[in-house]
Amino acid sequence: MPALFYHVTHSPVEEVVATLLTRAIAQGWRVELRGQSAERMDWLDDKLWLGGDEVFLPHGRAGGAHDDLQPALLTTAPALGDFAAVMAVEGAEVSAEEVAARERVWILFDGRDEQAVQGARVQWKALTGAGAKAQYWSEEGGRWEKKAES
């Protein structure tokens, strides 16, 4: 399965995260949600808990007593465990080996942040250069469209 690069331009990143997590958990997948900063993971943790009454997204922060039971685990480093999917935000790194070993890998980046866009380009080159397949998805037209594939 290729790494799916999601160029987020219209929706708030936390909405895209919640949508993808909802679908993954419904399929029975455990998801590692990986970011670079504890502050950002705290923020996402709050957003996922306060996401509204319609959807409950069971999740936890890494380092807890029940990490191995969490359907979605928010972390700042690759987590140990049986995860079917990895979702990387804020430029968190994903290896080509992880792409090959997981059911799904999403790499979300904020299209309104030029540094995030540049980081995603570097990550695309690193992954495809290491032999991983990748797809680039953009919502610039208001809907998700596949724009490129390696």
Structure tokens at 9: 């331009």
Q: 47-72 pLDDT, tens per residue?
A: 887 655 555 688 888 988 888 889 99
pTM over 0.95: no
Report the 10 Å Cβ neighbour count for 97: 11
Q: What pLDDT was estimated at residue 55?
A: 57
Q: Rounded distance, CA 63 to CA 104, Å?
A: 23
Backbone angles phi, psi at 139, to 5 degrees: -110, 25
Q: What pLDDT was estimated at residue 138?
A: 95
Q: What pLDDT was estimated at residue 73?
A: 94
Edge-to-edge order in the sheet of strand 31-34: 60-61, 72-75, 31-34, 85-88, 104-110, 3-8, 134-138, 145-149
Q: Which has the higher per-residue pLDDT, 102 or 48?
A: 102
CATH of the domain at 29: 3.40.50.10110
Q: Which has the higher per-residue pLDDT, 104 or 81?
A: 104
Contacts of 29 (CB under 8 A, 6+ apart): 83, 84, 85, 103, 104
What's the domain count of the chain?
Answer: 1
Q: Which domain holds residue 10?
A: 3-149
